[in-house]
Structure formats: structure tokens, C-alpha cells
Structure 1
Amino acid sequence: MIEKPHHLPERLGLLSATAADPFLTEDLLRGVRGHSGVDLAKVVEPLPEDDARWMVEPLRDLLVDAMHHFEENRTDADGWLAPRLHAALRLTRREAADQRIWNHLALAVAPDYVAFRHPPVPPRGGGSPRINRDRFRGAPDRQCFSRLWWAAEMFRNGGDYAPVVAACANQDLIHNLRLDLLDHRPTAQALVRVLDRDVVRTGRGINGLMTAINTAGATLVYDALAEDEPRDPAALRAWIEEAESAPPVPRHELPLGPDEDPVPEKSVAVLADYFADLFETAPVRGRKTPQE
């Protein structure tokens, strides 16, 4: 297990993929030893200093708590951390789409957490175990922290993070996220509803259902089947502006997200029924009966 950097920054910054590459050393990817952080700080672009959201200490404390509580079952950390990371950072989608902030969080602030959650595994072609470098600086659905933030953003129901916990409890669902599809809020909530009904019971089932939903989504406009209420941007702006005075995110209860209207219940119910029916004929490898 690697240690945290000896030099922790006080604030988050922007670290480009090109600047990050020299710090993805063999020792780091093998989970043997990290870096001091001093040299890395020289290639980081600073974020505005008058914004309380960029302070590192609350994030660092949150990640240390996650490592402590989930040492015995590390995948369970996702459901706990995703809503709290989202509530702690309070980003706009435009800010969250900038991978440089996630690169910095992973390499400068918490490479030890990346190694904790995604330990070294043998490469497909054989060889010594390595941490997948995409967990440090990769696509939004692969990078250690951005994948959790986007899962929370997609599955929260207004200010309620409970659906996020349910979604993150199923790794197959998170691995099959398609951000453009889940931008339709009723779709995200209907997926959680289907899981709650125990309609889908296996990882193969989730994979088959997501394939069917993605295929159907190419020809069916889900907005027409299940309308959503337009989001009020003022609620998100107010939530972000409160970051400076907000207390640390709670550890034993879920935080509150932006005070947005929840997804219309009728739309969720209609889509959940549709997805349950879709699953009956979904291509599930090895399935012999509709409920398998």
C-alpha cells in the first residue's frame, strides 16, 4: 500500500494528462511507492483562491475515513463515497467535465486512495500486477473519482442521494453507465427502481438490460415516453454558493444535494415498467428462463 504524498497541496488545481504522465511511475502503478508531491506541484495550474470548494483538507479527511471504514470490502466504498464526494465538491457539470481537476485529486491529493480502491491486478497479456493507469487519469467513467461524481450526479433525485447508494451497490450498473443516456433523469431513477424490484438478479442480467436499453434508446425517445421537469439552474447556483459556509459532509447520514424538484413519479413508474418488460427479451448470456 502506497503512502499519501509527503507534500499535500492546500488547494485543488488543474493537472493536464501530459503533465501527469511522468508521475505515473512503475513504482506507483505497482502500488509500491508514490511520489513526494513537490515536483508535481510545479506543473499544476491553480484554481481561483477565493473559492472554498477547492480546499483539500475536507476531501482528504473524507477519503481517509472511507479507507478506514471499508478496508474489508473496498467496493462498498463507492456507494458511501459517491454522494459525499459530490456534496463536498459542489461542481457544475462543466467543471466536472474538466478531467484536469480529477487528475490532480488522484495524483496530488489521494494516490493512496486510488491504490486502495483499485489495487494492482495482473494485465490481460500477463505480467506483474499493475494499477490501471486510467484510474489516475482516464475517461470520466473510468477515473477513480470522476466516475463516482458522475454516478452521483446522474442518479441523485433532486437533493436526495439515496438512489445513488442503490446504483453504486451494483458494480455492473456503474460499469455500464452511458452518460448521455442517463442525462434523462427518469431513465436513471427507473433503473434504480428495477433493481429495487429485484427484477434483475445477476451481473449478466444487468449487462443484458443495459444493452437492451441502449439499443432501444437509439430508436425510442425516452422523453416522449416519460417526461421530466426542467431543472432550475438557480437551485444549483444557490447550493454552490453555500459551499463556503457548509459544514463537512456527514459521515453517518446522507448529505443533501441541490434543492431541485424530484423526478416526476409517474415518469419513473412508466419507465420502470417498460424496462422490466424489456428485460424479458433482453439478450442475457446463459439465461434459460426469463427471470434468470
Structure 2
Amino acid sequence: MTDKPSFLPERLAFLSDLDAARYITDGLLSGKENVPAIALNKVTEPLPGEEARGALQPVRDLVDDAKHAFRDEKVTAADAWLAPRLHATLRLTRREAADRRLWNYLALGVAPDYVVWRHTTEPGKGEAPKVTAKRFRGPADSQAFARLWWAAELYRNGSDYGPVVTACGQQEMLNTALRLSVIDHRPTAQALVDLMVRGTVRTGREVNALVKAVNASAATIMYDVTAPDVERDGRSLAQWIENAEWAPAVPRRALPEGPDEERAPEESVATLTEHFAELFAEALVRGKKTEDDAAE
């Protein structure tokens, strides 16, 4: 199995897509090779500034703790634990998080062993288990660490990461919902989570059916009009980022706190929760018989 890097610098860095591709070998994807850490760090670019949030060791410590905590469980369970803590450790703006070079470096320079541990697929017939390359270098909804950061960013409710834990407990909320632009509307994201908390949707198939119905409905109903959000105040995020200079390591048992932003309006969330429940009641859940089918 791929090991943690033999060399870890003090600070995080940028790794371009082109350079990252050179280190994503068949041996790495199959978990049989390690990343040549010293060679890789020679082609990275330093992060601008010397802020505390650019320190590498806190991220590496999180990864080690996640692997230890979930060593005897299904590896997907680690997502709900790691997502809010990674978000609260890095303290990025969305503009910063959109830079793929950072995620390339986390996956190859900081924690390639975690990517292999978490994302090695079940072997097919006559095939060996392996990781897909997009988990190391890929879009935000697929890359191993970018997907967790964006899930935490889009599902948190102000400073509360509780909804993130709920959402990341169901893989379809990561695999399907994160790809849709409607999730950027906070009342929409919170309404989806509310339906999970209620038990209205439980399985991956049900979540998939709900998300598709919600996305289709968005073509005719403007959610940001029928269920408006409050205007976002960037000062809270800026202060939270500044506080990283003296913030302790994120807690491992309790959830950390995100930026002190106003929560999504309860009335808007309630409006969409009821609307989405109606959409789901009408949705055809794949693999589940409809009442008409059952009556025949």
C-alpha cells in the first residue's frame, strides 16, 4: 500500500496539472508505488505569504487521525468526519479553493496514502483494485480533497457544520448533488439536508431521485426568488481567516466552528423542504415499484 510521503516540507504548495500528471503512475493508482516526495517538491510553487493556514502539518495530522479513526469501518465514513475539519483547518476563500493546484499538492505531496486508502475501488472481474486518476487530479466534485472542502462550504449553515456531517454521510450528496449549480443556493442545500434528517430520503437511490427532481424543477421555479437567502457578508469570512493566526488545532470529537455568518433563513428552508418533499413523492425512485406497479 502507498505510504505517506518520506519528505514533508513545513508549508503547503501549488502543483500544476501538468506536473501532477507526471506523478500519477499506474503503480500509484494500484497502491504499489510511493510518490517520489523530494522530486515532486522541486517542481512546486510556494503559497503566497506566510500565514498560519498555509502550514502543512495540521493537514497531515488530520489525515493520519482520519485513517486511524476509521481503520475498522467502511472508508466512506471518513468523509463526514474529515470534510468539516479540513474546511476549518485550511480556511480558504472560494477563489482560493477554485485553484486546482492546491488540491493537486494535497493529494500528491501531502497525503497520497490517504487517497489510495479512501478511494481504491472494489476490483472488477479479472481486474486489480485501483484508484481513478481524477481522485488525485480532477474536478472539484471528484478530487479527493476538493470534494470534501466544497461539500463543507456548500452544506454548512453559517458557522454550523452539522449539516455537512449529515450530507457527507450519504455519498450521493457528494457524487451527484455537488455537480449541480442549485446547491450553491443555501436554502436549497439546507432543505435537502432537512429531508435526510426527517428520514424522508434514506438510501442513495432516494437521494439521487430527489436531487434529480430538484434540479429539474429549478428549470421552471427560481428557488432564489421563492426562497430568498440573506445577502452574504464577506467580513465574517475575512475575520475567520484572520483568526487562523492564533486558532488551535480543530477539535477531533466536537465539530469545529466555521465563519460567523448568518444562517440560511428558516422560512426559506421550510418552504423548499415542503416543496422538495412533494417533488420526491412524485419522483420515480430507481429500483422501487410505484403504487401503480404494485396494484397490477
Q: Same fold (TM over 0.5)?
A: yes
Give, in angstroms, the shift of residue 27 of structure 1: 1.4
> Which residue number in structure 2 is paired with residue 83 of structure 1?
84
- Residues 130-169 of structure 1 deviation map (CA, whole Å, 9 limit, x = unaligned): 2111110111000000000000000000000000000001
Give, in angstroms, the shift of residue 85 of structure 1: 0.2
- Please tell me whether residue 6 in structure 1 is matched to residue 6 in structure 2: yes
Give, in angstroms, the shift of residue 121 of structure 1: 3.8
Q: Is the 8 A contact 2:115 2:135 kept in 1?
A: yes
Q: Select between 127-136 and 92-101 the one with higher mean Cα deviation.
A: 127-136
Q: Structure 1: which amino acid aligns with 2:46?
A: P
Return the alpha-carbon distance in structure 2 between the equivalents of residues 192 and 45 of structure 1.
38
- Residues 43-91 of structure 1 deviation map (CA, whole Å, 9 limit, x = unaligned): 1111124211111011111110000000122111100100000000000
Return the alpha-carbon distance in structure 1 between the equivalents of residues 290 and 199 of structure 2.
15
- Residues 20-48 of structure 1 deviation map (CA, whole Å, 9 limit, x = unaligned): 11111121111012123011011111112
The CA RMSD over aligned residues, in Å, is: 1.5
Where do 1:1-292 residues align within 5 Å?
A: 1-73=1-73, 74-122=75-123, 127-176=127-176, 177-289=178-290
Q: Structure 1: which amino acid aligns with 2:271?
A: V
* TM-score (normalised: structure 1): 0.96
Q: Structure 1: which amino acid aligns with 2:14?
A: L
Q: Secondary structure at the match of 2:271?
A: helix
Return the alpha-carbon distance in structure 2 between the equivalents of residues 271 and 9 of structure 1.
47
* TM-score (normalised: structure 2): 0.94
Which blocks of at least 5 consecutive residues in structure 2 are unaligned?
A: none
4+ residue runs over 4 A deviation: none
Q: Is the 8 A contact 2:53 2:244 kept in 1?
A: yes
Return the alpha-carbon distance in structure 1 between the equivalents of residues 244 and 107 of structure 2.
22
Give, in angstroms, the shift of residue 228 of structure 1: 0.6
Return the alpha-carbon distance in structure 2 between the equivalents of residues 281 and 67 of structure 1.
40
Return the alpha-carbon distance in structure 2 between the equivalents of residues 259 and 225 of structure 1.
25
Give, in angstroms, the shift of residue 120 of structure 1: 4.5
Q: Secondary structure at the match of 1:215?
A: helix
Q: Structure 2: which amino acid aligns with 1:288?
A: K
Return the alpha-carbon distance in structure 1 between the equivalents of residues 43 and 11 of structure 2.
14
Q: Is the 8 A contact 1:60 1:110 kept in 2?
A: yes
The percentage of counterpart residues that share the same residue type is 55
Return the alpha-carbon distance in structure 1 between the equivalents of residues 80 and 217 of structure 2.
28
Q: Is the 8 A contact 1:87 1:255 kept in 2?
A: yes
Give, in angstroms, the shift of residue 179 of structure 1: 4.7
Return the alpha-carbon distance in structure 1 between the equivalents of residues 103 and 65 of structure 2.
19
Give, in angstroms, the shift of residue 16 of structure 1: 1.0
- Residues 71-121 of structure 1 deviation map (CA, whole Å, 9 limit, x = unaligned): 122111100100000000000000000111000000000001111111244
Q: Secondary structure at the match of 2:179?
A: coil
Q: Is the 8 A contact 2:3 2:34 kept in 1?
A: yes
Return the alpha-carbon distance in structure 2 between the equivalents of residues 217 and 178 of structure 1.
14
Q: Structure 2: which amino acid aligns with 1:4?
A: K
Q: Select between 198-207 and 150-159 the one with higher mean Cα deviation.
A: 198-207
Return the alpha-carbon distance in structure 2 between the equivalents of residues 26 and 202 of structure 1.
34
Return the alpha-carbon distance in structure 2 between the equivalents of residues 142 and 30 of structure 1.
18
- Count of residues in correspondence between the two structures: 290
Q: Is the 8 A contact 2:284 2:290 kept in 1?
A: no
Q: Structure 2: which amino acid aligns with 1:142?
A: S
